[in-house]
Amino acid sequence: MLKIDPDRLLNDLRHLRTFGATGPGVVRLSLSSVDMDARRWLAGRMNDAGLTAAIDGVGTVFGRSRNAGPALLIGSHTDTQPTGGWLDGALGVIYGLEIARALAECEETRSFAVDVASWFDEEGTFSGFLGSRSFVGDDVDEAIRGARNREGLSLADALAQAGLAGKPRVRLDATRHKAYMEPHIEQGGRLEAHGKSIGVVTTIVGIRELRLRFTGQRNHAGTTPMSIRRDAGAALVAFIARMDDAFRPLADADTVWTVGRIELDPGSFSVVPGAADLYLQFRDASAQRLRAMETALASLIRDFNDEGKVGVAMVDSEPPEEPVVMDAGLQAHLAQAAEAFAPGQWERMPSGASHDAQLLAHHMPACMLFVPSIGGVSHDFIEDTAEAHIVKGCEVAARAAAEILRTLNA
């Protein structure tokens, strides 16, 4: 009978936590010395598990099963944010390792192939999702040449210092890799609020990021009457309130929008701001709803310009990220496994955060499983998940992995 080893699973997670441990959290930025120590340790654990493991030319740790395909690929990332938690990404990688071991120890499943990946730089210390982008065949050479971290170190130099420059890069093998699974902590509070222990992800949300520029007239704050001011900062604040009113009728329970940054020019107590920038992001699992929000925003900009003394224009935007739907068949396997191990204690839900799975999903069927985050906290040192939920999630993922592979081998 297929059975994971909870102690082995938790011990590996705890040991990985020691690389960059900072209080209850972890600081393990991509290609730092502690990150490379963690990657070498992980490759060793993969080899101990019977996988053939190596760190590739962009830093991804890849463990390949010695069994012939078709293979299920399980992965996530082990790099962290500057104030990172111990489970974000790491959980999915160690789940993959434990599932590969558990399947190899079971007579019924030991011939199945599970490959395991810790993708490089998911968190974007140099260039976000670089490992998974490289794996699916995206041209990452320009990113390698141009990307730098906060200290100004180039990615090319960092790879050379780590001894990775010129090493082969692992690539998707379409004849072997037939499905992808990414287990992850939820990074939100929905499962905890609903009293659930497992989330089966339906969609990874689409994202829009843009910058609006408000242009008024800089002037003396003491001598300029309120009636004739063209205050770009005040206009920006008024715009946010109207934007909220415009977005709310379009939203559902999972729609979110965030003003992440405001910049005033010149930003002085004694000067009426002549210009102001608003940095806006909105996310939703529905492409139709995202388009409706874009239309509403464009209409609001036109109305604002017609009515006010301060002009507003969109001056910059990131390329849009469209929602990515997880494979229905793989979702069904996760749902069946969740009902077996956590009857009535699971639900289907979107992912409000981006993950490597959204890139892999364009090249093979992909799925994601969530376990609860205590207090809904992630990207912070206090990020945590109850051990019972960690173990339960791995049991569900292992059962689903076995059934996915049975289907692939049928």
Say whether 322 counts as a known binding-site residue.
no
Say whether 383 counts as a known binding-site residue.
no
Say whether 184 counts as a known binding-site residue.
yes
Structure tokens given for 118: 């810790």
* Short-list 24, 151, 149, CA closest to 83: 24
Say whether 123 counts as a known binding-site residue.
yes
Say whether 77 counts as a known binding-site residue.
yes
The answer to whether 370 and 191 have CB atoms below 8 angstroms apart is: yes
- Which amino acids are annotated as binding site, given as ranges? 77, 88, 123, 184, 379
- Which amino acids are annotated as binding site for Zn(2+), given as ranges? 77, 88, 123, 184, 379
